[in-house]
Structure 1
Amino acid sequence: MIFENSLAFAQQLDAQDPLSHYQNEFSFPQVNGKKVIYFTGNSLGLQPKRAKAYVDEVMNDWATLAVEGHFYAEKPWWDYHERFTNPLSKLVGALPTEVTVMNTLTVNLHLMMVSFYQPTSKRYKIICEEKAFPSDQYLFQSQVRFHGYEPEDAIVEVKRRKGEHNIRLEDVVAKINEVGAELALVLIGGVNYYTGQVFDMKTITEAGHKVGAYVGWDLAHAAGNIELQLHDWQVDFAAWCSYKYMNSGPGNASGCFIHEKHHTNSELPRFAGWWGHNKERRFKMEPHFDPVQGADGWQISNLPVLSLAPYLASVELFAEVGMEALIKKRNTITAYLEFVLHEIDREVKGNFEIITPSNPKERGCQLSVFLHGEGRSLFDYLMKNGVIIDWREPNVIRLAPVPLYTSFENIYRFGQILKSGILEK
């Protein structure tokens, strides 16, 4: 498609967009009395308007049924999480029995490492990406120390080549082969939070398995953003937060995937709790743990239904739209944002550097932009003028035009505000 940096062209794209009406499904903050241009769905998604009804339903059932809501609510609480299995499995490319919801992201990654990080004197190393999200870095450090190893020895980072912003696939595979028989686990963010780079999960998973390691993925920036085929890729486990692209609300529950090949492995350790116990016998209060067959067998405590309610609202919205349609718009609107950035850069003779890969197969809907020659003052200008974006030191802004609620007109107007901010400094 040949793009134009004009209001009329952007409005024409919106008129042709079959998802444009979904913007009305979300609540937007306002700045200066106007609805904001919201580019931080990679940090916290907007609130779906239908979420309130789902929460109110639980509150009303609690008020009128109290403890009986576990079994007699319209959506009984004791199996509330089971409503996620079909829609979530389609979102991440899994069997329904391979997905569950529980806890929060880093908690789930810790629990997954109980099962899938079993270091020995010879096989104890973890491979991750350089500049992983800090929570993952802390996770790795605490896990290896817990097992008696030093992070400097046990954690192996795949680094970017000098002068490059993204990690090459061949370097990931080469590092896996180099560590080889010492490698216990590969655990990488499927989409790098800083650059927006999408990793080739299929190839990396195959490489990890070839040397005898488990392979898991932190999908915080991937779930609801990119195509995933976790079952077919033979991924051992994965976890994701629900409050970014999945729009479930701040700090909300995490999704979790465990491949079916591990479901009946009684030798695989796990931390147990009563909600992971045989569903049909759970309330018999038996002394010995008999796990549910499937990902639900990794659950520990009964679930926070009030937190799950807005997540369910969003998951059902995703099921209604479908990932295929979202990805199609995501590719177009991200490309349009890239075009507008280059156009504004040319007009103001600036020095923007988009550090996210230009190949659509290697990115989702996030573009990270290095503002050479510009400082925090430009970020502040954008925020004061109704463009909600994300700042990362030293001077990178992250822009995520989420296809569910971003319009092409938003992209054009952002470009004009950006241009004004540069010219007025």
Structure 2
Amino acid sequence: MNYESTLAFAQSLDYADPLSGFRNDFLFPQQNGSPFIYLCGNSLGLQPKAAREVLNEQLNNWHNLAVEGWFEGDSPWMFYHKELKKLMGPLVGASAKEVCPMNTLTVNLHLLMVSFYKPVKGRFRIIMEAGAFPSDQYAIESQVRFHGYDPKDAIVEVAPRVGEYTLRTEDILARIAEQGDELALVLFGGVNYFTGQWFDMEAITKAGQAIGAIVGFDLAHAAGNVPLKLHDWNVDFACWCSYKYQNSGPGGISGIFVHEKHFTDTTLNRFAGWWGYQEEQRFKMEKGFVPEAGADGWQVSCTQVMPMALYFASLQIFEKAGFIDPLRNKSKTLTSYLFYVINEVNKSLNNEQFKIITPLDENDRGAQVSIIAKQKGKEIFEKLVANNVLGDWREPNVIRLSPVPLYNSFEDVFRTGELLLQISKEVL
């Protein structure tokens, strides 16, 4: 497509966008009586208008049914998670039985590592991306120490080449092969939070399993953002938060995926809880843990009804939109247009003030464009926010902009570039 840096062109793209109406399903924050151009869905998604209604429905159930709400009413809490499972599966390329909403992301990462990180003498290492989000770094480090290993020896990080910002797939695969039979676990992010790079998850899975390792992913920045085929890719396990691209609210409930090939593996360790016990026998209160079939068997605590209700409100929007494929098509165009607009800003400034560090190939990125501001980045970012454009600042000099296809428009992208140029001319 031949892009143009004009308002009329951006509006023409919005007019032709079959998903443009979904913008009306969300609430935008306001400042000085005007809505923000919200480009921070990679950190916290917007509130669906339906969230209040769905939450009030459950509050009314609590009011009217009290404890009987677990088994009475239109959506008994005992089985409420099953309604979400039907909608979660298509978003990550899994069957309903392979996914489950529960806990929060790092809690689930720990629970899954209990099962799938099984170090033994000679095979104890974990390979991960360098610069992964700190919660992953801390979780992996603590798991390694729990098993009696030194993180400096047990954790292998794959970093970009000197002068580069993203990882080359061949370097990841080579490092996996290099570790060979010393590698117990490959644990990568699906999409890197800092650069927006979408890793080749299928290739990483094949490479890790080829040398006998288990392969898992943290999909915090991938689920609801890029098309995933966890079952078909033969991924062993994964987990994600739902409050970024899936709009479930701050601290919203997490989700897990466990490939069905592991359902009958009785050698897997797990930290068990009552809610993971066989559903039909759960209330007999008997000794001896017998897990429920599927991903539900990794549950620990009872259904978190209110967070699930908020997640359900957003998942229903994804269902109406046709799940991820239509959104992905728009997302690629949105980010490509943002690339174009940023480059036009640089041309107008006669220098590369804003260096894009997100992959140029649309198939290697999600709904995020990260830019290094070479001069006065924090001042420029703060002025963007003061003028109702809300992205995300990362030290020391990176601005992350995330045009989300469910609620962002091409006009949002154009006006962001227009303001970026105006501010840059003022402060540089």
1:276 corresponding residue in structure 2: 276
Q: Which residue of 2 aligns with 1:114?
A: 114
Residue 230 of structure 1 aligns with which residue?
230
Q: What is the number of residues matched between the two proteins?
A: 425
- What's 2:355 paired with? 353
Query: How many angstroms does 1:166 deviate by?
Result: 0.5
Whole-angstrom distance in 1 between the partners of 2:408 and 2:252: 23
Distance apart, 1:304 and its partner CA: 1.1
TM-superposition CA deviations, 1:332-373 (whole Å, max 9, x none): 111111111111111122321110001011001100001112
Contact 2:84–2:101 (CA under 8 A) maintained in structure 1: yes
- Contact residue 368 and residue 398 of structure 1 kept, 8 A: yes
C-alpha distance in structure 1 between counterparts of 2:25 and 2:351, whole Å: 37
CA displacement 1:257-288 (0-9 Å, x = unmatched): 00000001111111111111111111111112
Residue of structure 2 equivalent to 1:28: 28
Cα offset for 1:57? 0.4
| SS of residue matched to 1:333 | helix
Amino acid at match of 2:53: A
Identity across aligned pairs (percent)?
56
More displaced, 167-176 or 366-375? 366-375
**How many angstroms apart in 2 are the aligned matches of 1:6 and 1:305?**
46
Q: Distance in 2 between matches of 1:349 and 1:41?
A: 31
Cα RMSD (Å) = 0.7
Distance in 2 between residues matched to 1:357 and 1:219, nearest whole Å: 18
Is the partner of 2:101 in helix, strand or coil?
strand
Map 1:365-384 onto structure 2 (within 5 A): 365-384=367-386
Which sections of structure 2, spanning at least 5 residues, go unmatched?
none
The Cα of 1:319 is off from its aligned counterpart by: 1.1
* Rounded Cα–Cα distance in structure 2 between residues aligned with 1:33 and 1:235: 47
Task: Give the structure 2 partner of residue 332 of structure 1.
Answer: 333
Asked whether the 8 Å contact 2:377–2:398 carries over to 1, the reply is: no
Partner of 2:403: 401
Per the TM alignment, residue 87 of structure 1 is displaced from its structure 2 partner at its CA by 1.2
Question: How far apart in 2 are the matches of 1:133 and 1:321?
Answer: 30
Q: Distance in 2 between matches of 1:324 and 1:181?
A: 37
Alignment check: 8 A CA contact 1:366 1:399 kept: yes
Q: Which residue of 1 aligns with 2:344?
A: 343
Aligned twin of 1:184: 184
Deviation at 1:375? 2.4
1:70 aligns with 2:97: no
Residue type of the alignment partner of 2:407: Y
Query: Which amino acid in 2 is paired with 1:324?
Result: D
Which one-letter code corresponds to 2:190 in the other structure?
G
What does residue 61 of structure 2 align with?
61
C-alpha contact (below 8 Å) 1:22/1:405 kept by paired residues:
yes
Check whether the contact 2:380–2:424 (CA below 8 A) recurs between aligned residues. yes
Residue 380 (structure 1) shift:
0.6
User: 8 Å contact 1:32–1:385 — kept in the other structure?
Assistant: no
Q: Which moved more, 1:371-380 or 1:173-182?
A: 371-380
1:149 matched to 2:149:
yes
Equivalent position of 2:390 in the other structure = 388
Paired AA for residue 378 in structure 2: R
Q: 8 Å contact 2:272–2:300 — kept in the other structure?
A: yes
- Offset at 1:32? 2.2
Which amino acid is 2:194 matched to? Y
CA contact (8 A) 2:122 2:182 kept: yes
State the distance in 2 between where 1:256 and 1:84 align. 12
Alignment of 1:163-312 (within 5 A): 163-312=163-312
TM-score, length-normalised on structure 2?
A: 0.98
Describe the superposition over 1:98-142 as per-residue Cα deviations: whole angstroms up to 9, x where unpaired: 000110001000000000001111100000001000000001110
Distance 1:103 1:217 in 2: 17
Task: Report deviation, 1:385.
Answer: 0.3
Q: TM-score, normalised on structure 1?
A: 0.99
What is the SS of the residue equivalent to 1:89? helix
Unaligned runs of 5+ in 1: none
